[in-house]
């Protein structure tokens, strides 16, 4: 399996997320949930470290002090300051902080409990051994075994589960209302039974937090796999400790956040020498609003298309007449140099700005991208200036095509002549038409060419109707 840059790094930036799609690992875009430690000092006394989401931390601090019985009203808070950058909160309250505070260890997610990665406490980290490679099938089997064990033991809902997997069977299993407690229970079982967890796989039903990652590292766990997501601190800690962190293990798919070299699956490389281009900013007359900005999957329509393009290309550009409209996208945006000339002006701007010799162009209203078809089209560019597939009736699909930078003079001539149809310059360059039958071998239903033009199209697509 190919190794990625940074795969062996102990520190610095984490490797990019890889998504296993049932066949191979490919670069993907996913931001883990943020998690921050906040060291709380009250009247100069270091009281606790709160592990929390980063928003509205002053509410969290005030509520924590109230629930600990240190304040009863807002008037008891003389000063309250929170600095997320330094992970610190400083509070002055009326009265004194008791000399001894008996902590209540809750079943929740660690609020008020300070933890350390083992190395930070002055003890050597028990780094997980490289161990054998882990197949995707083993991860799916582990998660299935965890689900079966949960069904056998569970008497009610709302409970977390975790298990230790040795590659063939579930060695240990635990349930608790607190997901961190499940790992403590696993650790206790292993201790009393004399089971060494080094190199084992930890499977969990809930989110993987920094505390769980640190505890797993101290046990020598080599792989953590969860049905849900990790936090950003968990990703960082697993990267430092050499743990392979896998999330969203469901439906024969998963994301790999750190150390993917342990996963025995082929890595799909990004397409070399080609820049991905999204054409955006059209009039959207039949939709009545900008199609690219329609809500979809917790974001905007164009964000879903950008994620797919980012998996395929090392560089992605958005070509538009209004770059500010799409400034939320984490990629370059280029402005048409021939305003009002439609898609051809966007192709022209992208070719001039691209860091590659070739670009693959897709319209922002074509959400059914077929990665294998895109890879095939890009592979046909040798000896051609344009690679364009045929759609129904033999009509060309120029907004799902490959263009070489050498077509720029012909494109500029067409634009200066007032010709805005994309195919207007095809008779002056080398065009490779990809027959419909060849397209259908890869994309039998020709979904890749379907676009979203009307509200009815959008609602049907959003609701899963294609």
Cα separation, 388 vs 439, in Å, equals 11
Positive or negative, the Cα torsion across 424, 430, 434, 436? positive
Q: What are phi and psi of 415, to 5 degrees?
A: -65, -40
| Confidence band of 157 (pLDDT split at 50, 70, 90) | low
Is residue 378 part of the annotated active site? The answer reads no
pLDDT in the model for residue 421 = 93
Tell me the percentage of the chain whose pLDDT exceeds 70. 80
Best CA proximity match to 341, nearest among 408, 416, 429? 416
pLDDT digits (tens, 9 = 90+) for 355-374: 999 999 998 888 778 888 99
Cα separation, 280 vs 364, in Å, equals 5
Q: Which residue has the higher pLDDT, 189 or 156?
A: 189
Largest CA distance in the chain: 86
Give me the mean pLDDT over the 173-182 stretch: 81
For tokens 């909160």, the residue is 89
Architecture of the domain spanning 274-462: Alpha-Beta Complex (3.90)
Q: Is the pLDDT of residue 436 over 60?
A: yes
CATH 3.90.550.10 maps onto the chain at: 274-462
Give me the mean pLDDT over the 122-138 stretch: 62
Q: What are phi and psi of 95, to 5 degrees?
A: 80, -175
Is pTM beyond 0.75? Reply is no
Lowest mean pLDDT among 241-245, 328-332, 384-388, 456-460: 456-460
pLDDT in the model for residue 93 = 92
CATH 3.10.20.10 maps onto the chain at: 36-117
Per DSSP, what are the bridge partners of residue 109?
none
Q: Is the pLDDT of residue 180 over 80?
A: no
Q: Which residue has the higher pLDDT, 114 or 435?
A: 435
pLDDT in the model for residue 282 = 58
Give me the mean pLDDT over the 191-212 stretch: 90
Cα separation, 449 vs 432, in Å, equals 18
pLDDT in the model for residue 3 = 35
pLDDT in the model for residue 425 = 97
pLDDT digits (tens, 9 = 90+) for 380-432: 999 999 999 998 888 999 999 999 999 999 999 999 999 999 999 999 999 99
Give me the mean pLDDT over the 47-71 stretch: 80
* Token digits of residue 395: 């009509």
Tell me the percentage of the chain whose pLDDT exceeds 90. 37
pLDDT digits (tens, 9 = 90+) for 80-94: 998 877 789 999 999
Q: Please, what is the average pLDDT of the chain?
A: 81
pLDDT digits (tens, 9 = 90+) for 98-125: 766 554 443 344 433 433 444 433 333 4
* HEC readout, the chain: CCCCCCCCCCCCCCCCCEEECCCCEEECCCCCECCEEEEEEECCEEEEEEEECCCCHHHHHHHHHHHCCCCCCHHHEEEEEEECCCCEEEEEECCCCCCCCCCCCCCCCCCCCCCCCHHHHCCCCCCCCCCCCECHHHHHHHHHHHHHHHHHHCCCCCCEEEEEECCCCEEEEEEECCHHHHHHHHHHHHHHHCCCCCCCEEEECCCECHHHHHHHHHCCCCEEEECCCEEHHHHHHHHHHCCEEEEEEECCEEEEEECHHHECCCECCCECCEEEEEECCCCCCCCCCCHHHCEECCEEHHHHHHHHHHHHECCEEEEECCHHHHCCCCCEEEECCCCCCHHHHHHHHHHHHCCCCEEEEEECCCCCCCHHHHHHHHHCCCCCCEEEEECHHHCECCCEEEEEHHHHHHHHHHHHCCCCCHHHHHHHCCEEEECHHHHHHHCCCCHHHCCCCCHHHHHHHHCCCC
Q: Is the pLDDT of residue 254 over 70?
A: yes
- What CATH number was assigned to the domain covering residues 18-32+124-262? 3.40.140.10
Lowest mean pLDDT among 63-77, 152-166, 189-203: 152-166
Helix (H) or strand (E) holding 188: helix 179-193
Give me the mean pLDDT over the 36-52 stretch: 85
For residue 94, the Cα-to-chain-centroid distance in whole angstroms is 45
Q: Which residue has the higher pLDDT, 77 or 325?
A: 77
Cα separation, 6 vs 12, in Å, equals 9
Architecture of the domain spanning 36-117: Roll (3.10)
pLDDT digits (tens, 9 = 90+) for 139-152: 999 999 999 988 76
Q: Which of 109, 238, 364, 378 is catalytic?
A: 109
CATH 3.40.140.10 maps onto the chain at: 18-32+124-262
Cα separation, 402 vs 377, in Å, equals 7
Cα separation, 344 vs 414, in Å, equals 9
| Confidence band of 453 (pLDDT split at 50, 70, 90) | low
pLDDT in the model for residue 301 = 73
pLDDT digits (tens, 9 = 90+) for 281-333: 655 544 545 676 766 655 677 887 888 898 899 999 999 877 678 888 888 99
């Amino acid at each position: 399996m190919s190794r990625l840059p940074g795969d062996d790094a102990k520190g610095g930036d984490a490797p990019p997320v890889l998504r296993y799609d049932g066949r191979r690992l490919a670069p993907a875009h996913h931001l883990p949930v943020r998690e921050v430690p906040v060291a709380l000092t009250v009247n100069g006394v270091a009281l606790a470290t709160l592990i929390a989401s980063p928003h509205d931390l002053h509410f969290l601090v005030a509520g924590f002090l109230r629930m600990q019985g240190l304040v009863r009203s807002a008037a008891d808070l003389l000063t309250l300051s929170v600095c997320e950058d330094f992970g610190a909160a400083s509070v002055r309250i009326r009265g004194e902080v008791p000399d001894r505070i008996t902590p209540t260890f809750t079943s929740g997610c660690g609020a008020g409990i300070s933890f350390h990665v083992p190395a930070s406490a002055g003890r050597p980290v028990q780094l997980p051994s490289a161990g054998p490679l882990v197949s995707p099938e083993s991860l799916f089997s582990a998660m299935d075994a965890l689900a079966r064990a949960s069904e056998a033991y569970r008497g009610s809902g709302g409970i977390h589960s975790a298990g230790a997997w040795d590659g063939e069977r579930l060695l240990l299993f635990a349930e608790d209302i607190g997901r961190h407690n499940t790992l403590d229970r696993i650790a206790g079982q292993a201790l009393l039974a004399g089971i060494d967890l080094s190199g084992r796989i930890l499977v969990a039903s809930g989110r993987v937090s920094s505390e769980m990652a640190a505890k797993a590292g101290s046990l020598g766990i080599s792989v953590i796999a969860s049905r849900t997501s990790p936090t950003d601190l968990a990703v960082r800690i697993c990267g430092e400790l050499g743990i392979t962190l896998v999330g969203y293990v469901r439906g024969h798919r998963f994301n790999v956040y750190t150390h993917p070299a342990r996963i025995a699956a082929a890595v799909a490389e990004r397409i070399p020498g080609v820049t991905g281009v999204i054409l955006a900013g059209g009039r959207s007359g039949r939709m009545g609003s900008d199609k690219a900005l329609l809500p979809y999957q917790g974001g905007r329509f164009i964000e879903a298309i950008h994620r797919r393009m980012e998996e395929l290309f090392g560089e992605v550009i958005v070509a538009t007449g209004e770059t500010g409209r799409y400034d939320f996208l984490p990629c370059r945006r280029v402005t048409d140099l021939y305003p009002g000339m439609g898609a051809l002006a966007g192709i022209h701007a992208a070719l001039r700005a691209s860091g590659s010799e070739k670009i693959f162009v897709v319209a922002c209203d074509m959400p059914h991208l077929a990665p294998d078809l895109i890879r095939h089209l890009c592979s046909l560019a040798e000896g051609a200036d344009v690679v364009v597939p045929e759609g129904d009736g033999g009509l060309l699909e120029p907004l799902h095509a490959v263009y070489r930078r050498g077509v720029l003079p012909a494109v500029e001539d067409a634009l200066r002549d007032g010709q805005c149809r994309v195919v207007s310059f095809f008779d002056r360059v080398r065009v490779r038409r990809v027959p419909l039958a060849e397209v259908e071998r890869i994309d039998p239903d020709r979904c890749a060419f379907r676009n979203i033009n009307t509200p009815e199209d959008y609602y049907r697509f959003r609701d899963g109707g294609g």
